[in-house]
Amino acid sequence: MNSLSLTDLHRLKWLMGQLLVLIAFWAMLELDVGSQPLLLLFGFVVFCTVLFPGVPSRIPAVFWKAATPAVITIILLDFFIHGADFLQPLVRMIMLLAVYRSMQYRSRREDLQLVLLSLFILVITGVMTVSLTFGFQMLLFTPLAMGMLFVINLLEASHRRILNRSDWEGFRWRSFLRRLRQGLDLRLLGFAGVLFAGMVTVSTMIFLAMPRFSIDQALPFLQMPGTSTTGFSDSIRYGEVSSLQDDNSIALRVDAPEGAKIPGDPYWRMIVLDEYTDQGFRMSAELKRNHADLGEGVLLNARYWDREGELEPSEPWLFYMHGNVSQYLPLLGPFDTVRFQKVTKTRAYPGLNLLSMEMVSANLFGYSVSGMRNESRLEATSVERMALVQHSPIPQPPMDYENPRFIQYPHTTRIVPAAEHDREYLEQIVEEITGGEQLDAEAFSLKASNWLRQNYRYGRNVDMYYDPMGDPLLLWMREEDEGWCEHFSGAFTLLARTAGFPARLISGFAGAERNDYDDYLVIRNKNAHAWVEIYDLKGHWLRVDPTPSAGSASFGEMAAASTSLVVTFSGWSAWTDSLRMMWYRRVVNFDETDQAEMASDIRSYASSSYEEVKSRLKGWLEEAKAWVTEGWNRQKVMTLALYLAIVCFSLLAVRYLYLGLREVMRHRGSLFGIRAGDPIRLKAGHLLQRFQPLFDHAREHLAGQERLAWQEARLGLLELRFGQTSSRAHARQVMRQARRLMRRYKPEKA
């Protein structure tokens, strides 16, 4: 960068720091810290300083005097108000310090602080989001940070220098970039590229070789609480829900084990809502209390705790759930074991095949499930069998309508706490559905689902006014002819309970998309759904989906028999999404098992490669020995001479090709102003390195014409090295004169 002035280098250093901050803020956009508007504002301010770098010099000095105590006060107040949630104020503090530093012209120490602040933001964001974008951002950040540190070292002699307003007068990006391009040294760029590639290689080897942290060594404070997506909570309040938005964003990716049969009608169970109130369905207080708090990394399904002996090993299903979806974890059905990627407080609900975290994760969360089965018939627990023992429709039990919470599970699956006129309305519908016949659970489910589909249609524009004094679901059944899945499932549950069949509402996801490029499943937020599990009075809960077809998706057990809920997506979107899945598999989910497997594969490959190379070398040596000892004749001599000629010709061709390319690059460099790679300059630089020590000695011991000759030779070499491009004849004459002086001068005789 010999054509850049000292001021240009300081400008370059400052601008590279601004770019580092912008990359860090870009990464933070994927992190939900509750300050997205503030982050966008800070990013816009820093971007303006890049476009107009003279702006910080126009800020009055009094502002900076007041800014320091103001920043400290804001940080202390943020920690005081949100002290329980340590990570969010910590990230905001780093973000505020970064924008504070980026708005100033910095000294060397402050530049190093900015690099560390930006790196901290990027690493913390990458650890918490583990997104594919983080890898790309690191590839941008690393060479930029290396370049900035290199420039800082170049400016070591003037490290106390700080830019001021006069340094930006007349600054133009176009002319600055032109000077920067002219000052580029191709050799330096090549060395930097080799250094960066080496660093990436070493980092990859360290990542693969370093011991994996065990589950109990994770950092739980890095778990940031999130907000559950609408519809994924332990209650459904019909009076509050107006419509469900079409959200095509991905909520879950599922990597099925090799050879596993992916069901055509996957229903990902998340929440069981057993209790009905005058406002909607919710998980009863008893079900909430009846859970096991677990903090370990491996969970054995409570349903299988009583099994004798060890479970048969099976390949796990890998789940990658995005942040802000739900604290409840999607599962197809019964499972054997669940292994969590990191320490988290987990709750298991015995007999319900449900799992939940203590809080909603704001970041990507991974877990694996072994022995998972997709079953439309779930076996009831012993408690449910004893409470629901009758083999005929169960009548409504007596209850205290003033205190419905006294009803315990599973009796909550039988209760319809409705007024007398509402109960009569439901009984009339049940009479119309059954025709007075005594139906079993399957027959009733089929007829009730058909009745709902005949009288209502699927839609998301239910905007009628709900009477706060009445039952919103029954009001919908009387007044509306359009509803979404929660209306159909809720209405079916009330009808089933009125008919004497215990029923509970289930919330989760229905359906999936199969990635055609890389075989795995993608579940989007628009797949959020609600369905019903009805008790067949014989020891099983049957899955029933009464919701009619909605657009291109066909829900319902009956509809699923002819239409698969799994669709295939392909093309560019499938390819880009498979990159994210590869990132999750090979980087995010890389553990000690993968490490051991990779080490075994490398060992096997190295051993087999060594044996193969050894065998081939042995064969070639035997062939060469036989060829030499078989006897010589004219044809063999001619063949040997031909091979030698080909080798010599190839070496000459490579040499002339190299010289030709170098000449082309020299002319091309002259065209674009890139002169550092000129061979004349390179030769002059090498000769100057040997000439300078002798010149220093001669300057002290020689005088007159001899000393003048040495000075002229040195000036000539400096002109060749750093001046305008010279002709070959002139360069040859200058270097010949310098070599002649070096040969004649004997320092020991001076």
What would the pLDDT profile of 556-608 be if each residue is shown by its tens digit? Answer: 333 333 346 788 877 888 888 888 888 777 777 666 666 677 778 888 888 88
Residue 287 lies in a domain: yes
> Does residue 623 lie in a domain region?
no
Q: Is the domain of 48 the same as that of 84?
A: yes
Query: Please, what is the average pLDDT of the chain?
Result: 79
Quick one: 703 and 562 in the same domain?
A: no
Q: Which of 149-158, 322-331, 741-750 has the lowest mean pLDDT?
A: 741-750
CA–CA distance, 495 with 491 (Å, rounded to integer): 6
CA nearest neighbour of 661 among 98, 186, 170: 186
Instruction: Please say if the pLDDT value at position 18 is more than 60.
Output: yes
* DSSP tag of 313: P
Contact (Cβ atoms closer than 8 angstroms) between residue 121 and residue 91: yes
Is the predicted pLDDT of residue 216 greater than 50, yes or no? no
pLDDT given for residue 246 in this prediction: 65
Asked if 206 and 247 sit in the same domain, the reply is no
Give me the pLDDT at residue 392, please. Answer: 58
Element holding 281 (H helix, E strand): strand 280-282
What local confidence, expressed as pLDDT, does residue 488 receive?
92
- Same-domain status, 508 and 445: yes
Please say if the pLDDT value at position 550 is more than 60.
no
Structure tokens at 258: 């090799």
List, as one string, the DSSP characters of 449-507: HHHHHHH-EE-S---PPPPTTS-HHHHHHHH-SEE-HHHHHHHHHHHHHHTT--EEEEE
Q: Are residues 424 and 535 in the same domain?
A: yes
Structure tokens belonging to residue 440: 């079993």
- Top-confidence residue, 331 or 84: 331
Query: pLDDT confidence of 451, banded at 50, 70, 90?
Result: very high
> In 3-state terms, what secondary structure has residue 666?
helix
Domain count, the chain: 3
Instruction: Identify the domain containing residue 90 by its residue range.
Output: 6-210
Where a domain ends, among 176, 210, 244? 210
Kindly report the three-state secondary structure assignment for every residue of 244-271.
CCCCCCEEEEEECCCCCCCCCCCEEEEE
Strands 512-515 and 566-569, bridge-based pairing: parallel
Tokens standing for residue 288:
């909430």
- Which pLDDT value is given to residue 244? 46
To 10 degrees, what angle do helices 132-154 and 572-583 make? 70
H-assigned helices in 272-402: 285-289, 382-387
Domain co-membership, 67 together with 118: yes
The answer to whether residues 152 and 262 belong to one domain is no
Q: How large is the C-alpha radius of gyration of the chain?
A: 38
Q: Other CB atoms closer than 10 Å to residue 142's CB: what's the count?
A: 16
52 to 49, 169, 639, 667: CA distances (angstroms) = 5, 11, 71, 35
DSSP secondary structure of 71-107: HHHHHHHHHHHSTTS-HHHHHHHHHHHHHHHHTS---
Is 594 within a domain? no
Residues 6+ apart with CB under 8 A from 52: none
Specify if 636 maps to a domain: no
Question: And the tokens for 138?
Answer: 């690191």
The answer to the question of residue 608 being in a domain is no
- Residue 668: is its pLDDT beyond 70? no
Full 3-state SS string of 194-229: HHHHHHHHHHHHHHHHCCCCCHHHCCHHHCCECCCC
pLDDT, residue 227, reads 57
Q: Are residues 497 and 365 in the same domain?
A: yes
Q: Is residue 686 part of a domain?
A: yes
Residue 189 lies in a domain: yes
Q: 410: closest CA among 384, 386, 448, 374?
A: 384
In a domain, 593, yes or no: no
151/240 same-domain check: no
Residues 296 and 203 in one domain: no
Q: Are residues 363 and 263 in the same domain?
A: yes
Residue 149 and residue 254 in one domain: no
